Amino acid sequence: MIAVLTDSTCDLPPDSARQLGIHLLPLTVSLRERRMLDWQEIDPDAVYDHMKTGGMATTAPVEVEAFVRKYEELLQTHDHVVSIHLSGKLSDTVRHAQQAARSLDGRHRIHVVDSELASTPLAEAVMAAQATVQRGGSHLDAVQAVQTVGEEMFAEFSVASLEYLRRGGRIGRAQEFMANMLGVRPILQFSHGELKAVRRIKADQASSDMLEQLRARFGHEPISVTIAHAGRDSGRINALRTAVASSGLNVRKGRVQLIGPVIGAHVGPGTYGFMACPMA
């Protein structure tokens, strides 16, 4: 038997992960000096409401000791653990997983993977690994599934406000001022484990621009599409659904996934994006 373990920044709600047979370890979110477990003790909208009123949210990785306990538990009932985590360039979580694995006698049965991803792309990689295991694949097949998703999927994001990137030190106050004056927003992609701005687009054109990029990448190829959104804004989410439906993409499967507390603490409420993967 093979266990697939990930961390809460995949943004799969714990109940959904449990139904899929995926094991989760939570990162930590701190609001007003109160530490809470990501997704377990705090809801995404609680973070966004706090940030909208000017509050700060900080985050912390999964500790080594938590990994040790989880690995010991899983190795009692599984032959291997495939442990897939948030990009090492965004968090120390994957390094803590590696450190924990090295400390155990069963280290050769633990396979730690730096996905170089986060949020919906990480979820896609983890679900692909779990589906591979459920089909009878080996731990090596599961690791390969993660790598394949990273190569084949295409995901872009944009932010509703630059304020939160500025608060987190990712852009300066002058950059925020100029972008707001021009009405532009960055389009963000994962590149070698980092979330980087690849271009800047007028705010009201960002969603159509991202969908055009998906059309350029996949054409009429059958794809699955995930809409990611930071906050339960039903009107905005429905508008994004409508945009996908009218985009001309050959969408065979679609879902909506909330961006969770830890990731949301860094990008802010209203952040959204589209991710697509080719259908097998």
pLDDT in tens, 99-158: 999 999 989 999 999 999 999 999 999 999 999 999 999 999 999 999 999 999 999 999
Copy the structure tokens of residue 11: 């943004």
Model confidence at 262, pLDDT cuts 50, 70, 90, reads very high
* Span of 157-161, 218-222, 237-241 with lowest mean pLDDT: 157-161
Q: Which CATH number goes with the domain that contains 84? A: 3.40.50.10170
Please count the other Cβ atoms lying within 10 Å of the Cβ belonging to residue 136: 8
pLDDT digits (tens, 9 = 90+) for 48-101: 999 888 888 999 999 999 999 999 999 999 999 999 999 999 999 999 999 999
Among 125, 151, 177, residue at a domain's last position = 151
pLDDT beyond 70 at 38: yes
* Number of domains the chain is built from: 2
- In this structure, the answer to whether residues 176 and 240 fall within a common structural domain is yes
Q: What pLDDT sits at residue 198?
A: 83
The residue type found at 208 is S
In this structure, the answer to whether residues 213 and 105 fall within a common structural domain is no
Quote the pLDDT of residue 168.
54
20 and 72, same domain (yes or no): yes
Q: Give the burial class of 192: count Cβ atoms within 10 A of its Cβ; 0-12 exposed, 13-18 middle, 19 or more buried.
A: exposed
Query: Could you give the 3-state DSSP secondary structure of residue 164?
Result: helix
HSE (CB half, 13 Å, CA atoms) of 92?
10
* pLDDT above 70 for 183: no
pLDDT value at position 102? Answer: 96
**Mapping DSSP to helix (H, G, I), strand (E, B) and coil, where does residue 65 land?**
helix
Q: Is residue 43 part of a domain?
A: no
For 196, the domain range is: 154-278
Residue 53 belongs to a domain: no
Instruction: Tell me the pLDDT band of 35, cut-offs 50, 70 and 90.
Output: very high
Q: In sequence order, what are the residues at sequence separation of 6 or more whose Cβ sits closer than 8 angstroms to the Cβ of residue 65?
A: 100
Of 151, 166, 185, the residue at which a domain comes to its end is 151
